[in-house]
Amino acid sequence: MMDRTSDDTEDAADGGAIFWVGAAVGWVIIVVGIRMGLHDREFKPGLLAKWVAGGLLLHDLVWLPVVAVAGALAAVALRRRIPLVLAWAAATTIVMTLIAWPFVRGYGRRADNPSALSRNYAHGLLVYIAVTWLIGLVVFSIGRLRPARQES
Amino acid sequence: MVRPVDVVNRIGEGTQRRFTSKLHETRIAAVLGIALGVSFSVCFVTGLLSHLIQHPPSWFAWPPRPAGLYRITQGLHVTTGFMAIPLLLAKLWVVSPRLWTWPPVRNVAHAVERISLVPLVGGSVFMLFSGLANVARWYPYGFYFPSAHFAIAWVTIGGLVAHIAAKVTSTRDALRRSPPPGLVTASGVDRRVFLGGVAATTGLVALATSGGTIAPLSGISALAQRVPTAGPQGLPVNKSAAAARVHDIATGDDYRLVVDGAVTNPLSLSLEELRALPQSSAVLPITCVEGWSRGASWSGVAVRDLLAMAGAREGASVRVESIERGSRYRTSDLNVAVAHDRDTLLALDINGAPLHLDHGFPVRLIAPNRPGVMQTKWVIKVVVR
């Protein structure tokens, strides 16, 4: 039998008063947002719906499977559970790269405005990644040394 | 004979079984959910405020004091937006097995809960992506960013309200009680390490991006959108004179500032005549909606002095117009309190020198507690109302 996780059992909406009131209020706000947008001349509902749905599908059908497969492959390759602190360094590297990407690529740079996006973002990203892995390796090494000291 | 529904059921159960990490648990999801709820709420309130300031309804008048308040609220908006990115990714990863919850719908409440995730997750991803792209001045989409960002913010917050209502009981229970025997949960150490890691990543992201808002961090904020001192006269520029196509009129000898509308003595003043008027000074920040800000010393003619010269009534409001054509921000309105504030200037100088063309030469508006897009550059007309 498969193990139960707390997520399977405890977490379903109970359908009580708080749930239904919250759901009603939430959907009223959602409809207000959609109506507000539709009353704006510059709102392009079809195009925007594609981007919002695209974000959702990108997460569910691309990002999540890629993360799951990458994690599984890494675990197989290392033949053991990946230390959390090194998984943290890898995840932080991905997050920092995602955030830095439009800056590194300089999509928004304009020749007539050198004060915008004026940093060397590729260099800055590499520094942050280096610091992240340094922190990760230091914490990992300290964790490895501790049991040895206790044994001696 | 194998029924299709059985095949689908087997795939669903099999997929769920493959998520073996103990970190996919309710207590971690609850803590991340609270952090994300707080950051989204801060983003929503500060964003709503910024929208109201730029598009004020009749019942809303944003005061000019405290002078640096908008600098704080908008800096908070952008910084918490950046910080929400690692929080959202961590939260989505922790709850990812629920995407394959089987059966997908158990009852009506569960169906409503799951359908409410569509605006919440889709909206969250969109808001953080479009906000990040805007700060990076990157517009890969064909719609107008402020309209879309504002409307989808409501959709996302609506989804968040419905989600909080669905999860409030389980979140409270998860944080109060020990899980029942038989449940697979992370150990206390693993949970603390994971949440500590998310906090550390969030902190690193804040450190790397907030230097445009918090000047002392500028040296180490390697991913901040601006260097506060980079730009003509030590001040960044958001829209250059070249992009606004104002060079010829702004630098022409026949430039005149016109003050008309509800006045008894309409004015038409050359740059020399403006410089001959009593000059006022103020130290005020330029605060961009993209989150960066930079203070400077400005001097020029106080708008209230100009209104008095033109014979405007005491409770007059003002519209300032730019030379620039075809821009959404070529005019900006000053409510009564702003128009009559002592520090609301039609600035001629910055840090003791005439304005650079990119900073609005010959005349620009500078007023306290106001978004940069409303500090109109290349001013040519003041309409009193």
DSSP string of B311-351? Answer: T--TT--EEEEES--S-TTSEEEE-HHHHT-TT-EEEEEET
* Location of structure tokens 């004026």: A118
Strand pairing category for B345-350 and B364-366? antiparallel
Per the prediction, chain B carries an average pLDDT of: 92
Question: Which of A49-58, B42-51, B146-155, B185-194 has the least mean pLDDT?
Answer: B185-194
User: Which residues does chain B have within 8 Å of residue A103's beta carbon, measured at their own beta carbons?
Assistant: 136, 223, 225
Check CB contact under 8 Å for A103 and B86: no
pLDDT tens for each residue of chain A, 152 residues long: 344 444 444 455 667 899 999 999 999 999 999 998 888 877 788 888 888 888 888 888 888 888 778 777 877 776 677 788 888 999 999 999 999 999 999 999 999 999 999 999 999 999 999 999 999 999 989 988 876 555 44
Nearest alpha-carbon partner for B261 in B300, B301, B304, B317 = B317
User: Which residues does chain B have within 8 Å of residue A118's beta carbon, measured at their own beta carbons?
Assistant: 226-227, 230
* pLDDT above 90 (res B98): no
Q: Is A115 on the interface with B (CB under 8 A)?
A: yes
* pLDDT above 60 (res B102): yes
Q: What are phi and psi of B233, to 5 degrees?
A: 60, 30
ipTM over 0.85: yes
Beta strands (DSSP E) in chain B are 183-184, 257-261, 267-269, 280-287, 293-302, 318-322, 331-334, 345-350, 353-354, 364-366, 379-384
Higher pLDDT, B172 or B40: B40
* pLDDT confidence of residue A149: 52
* pLDDT confidence of residue A11: 54
Mean pLDDT of B105-130: 93
CA angle (B369, A36, A51) in 5-degree steps: 95
Q: Is A46 on the interface with B (CB under 8 A)?
A: no
Question: Strand, helix or coil at A85?
Answer: helix
Partner residues linked to B346 by β-bridges? B301, B365
* pLDDT above 80 (res B21): no
Q: Which of B32, B80, B112, B163 to mutate to test the interface with A (most CBs of A within 10 A)?
A: B112
Check CB contact under 8 Å for B152 and A108: no
- A93 vs A110: CA distance, rounded Å: 28
Exposure on the CB side of residue B377, measured as CA atoms within 13 A: 29
Share of chain B above pLDDT 90, in %: 80
DSSP B265: S
Mean pLDDT of B85-107: 89
Q: How far is CA B303 from CA A14, A135, A146, in A?
A: 60, 54, 68
**Contact yes or no for B71/B284 (Cβ under 8 A):** no
CA distance B209 to chain A (A): 9
* pLDDT confidence of residue A14: 64
Q: Give the burial class of B122: count Cβ atoms within 10 A of its Cβ; 0-12 exposed, 13-18 middle, 19 or more buried.
A: buried
**Contact yes or no for B226/A115 (Cβ under 8 A):** yes
Assess whether the previous peptide bond of B66 is cis (omega < 30° from 0).
yes
- B132 vs B129: CA distance, rounded Å: 5
Give the DSSP per-residue string, B77-93.
Answer: HHHHHHHHHHHHHHHHH
Chain A: residue nearest B22 by CA?
Answer: A5
Exposure on the CB side of residue B246, measured as CA atoms within 13 A: 28
How is residue B364 written in tokens? 């620009």
Q: How many CB pairs under 8 A join A and B?
A: 293
Q: For B328-359, how does the pLDDT look when each residue is reduced to its tens digit (9 = 90+)?
A: 899 999 999 999 999 999 999 999 999 999 99
How is residue B217 written in tokens? 């961090």
Check CB contact under 8 Å for B113 and A67: no
B334 Cβ contact partners less than 8 Å away, ≥ 6 residues apart = B303, B317, B318, B319, B320, B344, B365, B367
* pLDDT above 60 (res B16): no
Mean pLDDT of B8-24: 65
Mean pLDDT of B201-206: 97
The model's pTM is 0.91
**Contact yes or no for A125/B205 (Cβ under 8 A):** no
Q: Residues in chain B, how many?
A: 385
* pLDDT confidence of residue B69: 97
Check CB contact under 8 Å for A16 and B169: yes
Q: Residues in chain A, how many?
A: 152
Mean pLDDT of B219-242: 94
